[in-house]
Amino acid sequence: IFSFNSPMGACTKCSGLGHQSLLGETELASDHQEEEVCKLCNGSRLKIESLSYLIENMNISEVSDLPIEKAEKFFAEFNLHQL
């Protein structure tokens, strides 16, 4: 459920890629294919259900996106027993 590499966790709109092609299904893909961030998962690549689980008011994508210094502080102060 927390992996975009699995159908259980991958966003259903972008198939876990985080982006979608701007080409129509009948158009041929080129080397310079235009893409946009997936509007359903906002590029997180995960299902909305996976993103609904919060720790300290952040979902798994937000925690993963923390800069290393903030992530280190986050996990140093995190208390699993308070959940």
| Residues 29-78: tens digit of each pLDDT | 555 668 899 999 999 999 999 999 998 899 999 999 999 999 999 999 88
Q: Is pLDDT at 27 greater than 70 in this prediction?
A: no
Mean pLDDT over 4-26 rounds to 83
pLDDT at 82: 66
Angstrom distance (rounded) from CA 5 to CA 15? 9
Whole-angstrom distance, CA of residue 23 vs CA of residue 35: 8
**Gap between the Cα atoms of 36 and 30, Å rounded:** 15
**pLDDT number for residue 28:** 58
Q: Which pLDDT belongs to residue 17? A: 92
Q: Are residues 9 and 16 in contact, defined by beta-carbon separation less than 8 angstroms? A: yes
33 HSE (CA, 13 A, CB side): 14
